[in-house]
Structure 1
């Protein structure tokens, strides 16, 4: 599968750490850890926009760049961290997509990977969007992966001693057709810490300690599998795209991989907040579309992790 394009919706007026402290009342201990140890500065919050509005804005931004592909889009998948975003089976996602695309487009959502669900979404779209068997002539088809959540409750506003969440959204255009141009997903893998999926609703000190002890080894297992799948060594990684939680974690991962800490893409790490399933694509967009105006000269490694013990890694090449 290839990533053809990425659009993002980030509030240009980021909310400062001090204002977030006043808003969430997370206590002086967290404030000191966030500001001094993690060096966090702000987060992307849309206090006056609903989730439907932020997702729609991001989707419209992507579609405006590809008017020639609208009729070739076959699937839209929304990857979200929370098990349900709207209660009572409100079909908001479907109605939102129907305003932008044909009724023939399949609309779905997935969430069981917590904040790593977006990488699962790529794998799902790759399977359902496969082209017809060889010998059947077919024009390229495309799919869209959406990400974005709202920080509506204390459990999705900040994590004690680790970081804070953001409401940035992404829309990712992908295709499995060989005649398309984009970044190649060369490796995509998962690992899991078993038996702690209940952390989304309830936890204990024992569970937290087990998660902390298993975090680096489990993430490294996911990374190693993605590198093997891509057929590269850690030393060939050019850029490391993090997610936006506990920034020192990525220094430790870089050290374990044997790459320079300067290879970590830090532009959004301290400013945007952990935007649930979307961090990898926010960073990919800025690195690819804004900073360089070109693809990385070497492989890119992106990672994701979820509160339920889910870990994912992805290797991208030009």
Structure 2
């Protein structure tokens, strides 16, 4: 059973208030107020001094469980929202693997599900490890990317993207944070340019996400009331308030504080929220939690995972 053996996170210390982003992103005063008062966003994290390799390396450096186990890592998977992040022939992931002494590992990137690609990376890592002949094989899953263009920093009327990264050491049969279910629904009819959202997508967004949440919980053999916590994607607060009404689930059990503090950190949201939950003692031994996210770009992907801590 796929398990998260260790998770580490890097979030930059620099935070830009929404007002400082108005001019570079072309936001009006009304749009800034909408993001703050309605969507619950306040500031966005950035690290302008670090490259993508350095951003990812900052999370890996805190992954102490990796130290001394580099030889066991057979796969390195980068879950990423943006399809292109560097000009040819540069490959930030391969550069990082060489720096870390992981040149022997099979390294690749998944971007097909946009911001849901981080969960896809965990699921793929688990499947690869289950088929690997080495009983002690590990996978390193990375998330995080640079908000390097206007389109990569703004989801109009919905959210603002920031920078941060996470590194997860995944095993095929770890003792805790064991993956009980994974449900993914892909909706190709919502294929749009990045940042554009159709009326149909907006209409179907919450019902589609609610459906994968219910299915993931059922496939884990649980009921919604059995969940101690939901770790959301940090797109905005109002989306989760309305989703909780639809699910009849208490919003107090959804960790939403990082929306205002960080902005939407692409595929890293789930793992940043995991760290926050651990720091606050919200994850109890043997308890269950759900991770949910949506990716929009080449179609829409609605994903949810249930873990036992």
| Range of TM-score over shorter length | over 0.9
TM-score, normalization by structure 2: 0.93
The match for 1:159 is 155
Note if 1:140 corresponds to 2:136. yes
After superposition, residues 143-292 of structure 1 pair within 5 angstroms as: 143-176=139-172, 178=173, 180-200=174-194, 203=196, 208-288=198-278, 290-292=279-281
Q: 2-side partners of 1:303 and 1:123: how far apart?
A: 14
Q: Is the 8 A contact 1:239 1:296 kept in 2?
A: no
Instruction: Show structure 1 runs of 4+ deviating over 6 A.
Output: none
Q: Secondary structure at the match of 1:155?
A: coil
Q: Is the 8 A contact 1:199 1:307 kept in 2?
A: no
Question: How far did 1:132 drift?
Answer: 5.5
Question: How far did 1:91 drift?
Answer: 2.5
Q: Is the 8 A contact 1:191 1:221 kept in 2?
A: no
Relative to structure 1, is the Cα distance of residues 294 and 313 closer, same or farther in structure 2, using a 3 angstrom cutoff? closer
Q: Greater shift after overlay, 271-280 or 24-33?
A: 24-33
Gaps of 5+ in 1: none
TM-score, normalization by structure 1: 0.90
Q: 2-side partners of 1:224 and 1:48: how far apart?
A: 42
Q: 2-side partners of 1:41 and 1:294: how far apart?
A: 26
Q: 1-side partners of 2:56 and 2:182: how far apart?
A: 25
Question: How far did 1:71 drift?
Answer: 1.8
Question: How far did 1:41 drift?
Answer: 1.3
The match for 1:128 is 128
Note if 1:305 corresponds to 2:305. no
Q: Secondary structure at the match of 2:68?
A: helix
- Aligned residue-pair number: 306
Residue of 292, 298, 305 corresponding to 1:314: 305
Q: Is the 8 A contact 2:145 2:266 kept in 1?
A: yes
Gaps of 5+ in 2: none
Q: Is the 8 A contact 1:73 1:143 kept in 2?
A: yes
Q: Deviations over 1:161-186 (max 9, x none)?
A: 2121011111111111x3x3220111
Counting strand residues as a fraction of each chain, which structure ranks higher? Answer: 2
Q: Deviations over 1:75-121 (max 9, x none)?
A: 11001101122122422311211111233211111100010011111
